[in-house]
Amino acid sequence: KQEVTQIPAALSVPEGENLVLNCSFTDSAIYNLQWFRQDPGKGLTSLLLIQSSQREQTSGRLNASLDKSSGRSTLYIAASQPGDSATYLCAVTALLPLVFGKGTRLSVIA
């Protein structure tokens, strides 16, 4: 059974810092990995999708990498801003649709 773990569970950083969020999964036979952002009381916003054949994807200040063999993905956020404060979730698709981690709650302090 696929399990997804996100570390840390919560993170607080000063504005302007570069930061890395970690995601690990137990079954490397995945089709893709997706990073989401969730603001309080809101739905999930898709940030980046990495297909199994890809190693990374970039969008603006966000860069996500995927290492299937080790079962890991990282989300790199450059020059963090207070507006980046949210919960970040990673999810993998394998034989079953998305299996989510519990998320990392990020607070960027001005």
Partner 1 sequence: EAGVVQSPRYKIIEKKQPVAFWCNPISGHNTLYWYLQNLGQGPELLIRYENEEAVDDSQLPKDRFSAERLKGVDSTLKIQPAELGDSAVYLCASSGQYNEQFFGPGTRLTVL
Can you give the binding site for partner 1, defined by CB under 8 A?
A: 4, 31-32, 34, 36, 41-46, 49, 51, 89, 91, 93, 96-98, 100-103
Greatest Cα pair distance in the chain: 42
Q: Give the integer Cα–Cα distance in Å for 50 and 73.
A: 10
What is the C-alpha separation between 64 and 92, in angstroms, rounded? Answer: 13
Shortest CB 65 distance to partner 1, Å? 18
With respect to partner 1, which residue has the nearer C-beta, 99 or 110? 99
Cβ nearer to partner 1, comparing 15 with 55? 55
Give CA–CA dist 5/74, Å, rounded. Answer: 12
Cβ proximity to partner 1: between 2 and 74 the closer is 2
Min dist CB 15 to partner 1, Å, is: 25
Distance (Å, rounded) from C-alpha 110 to C-alpha 12?
11
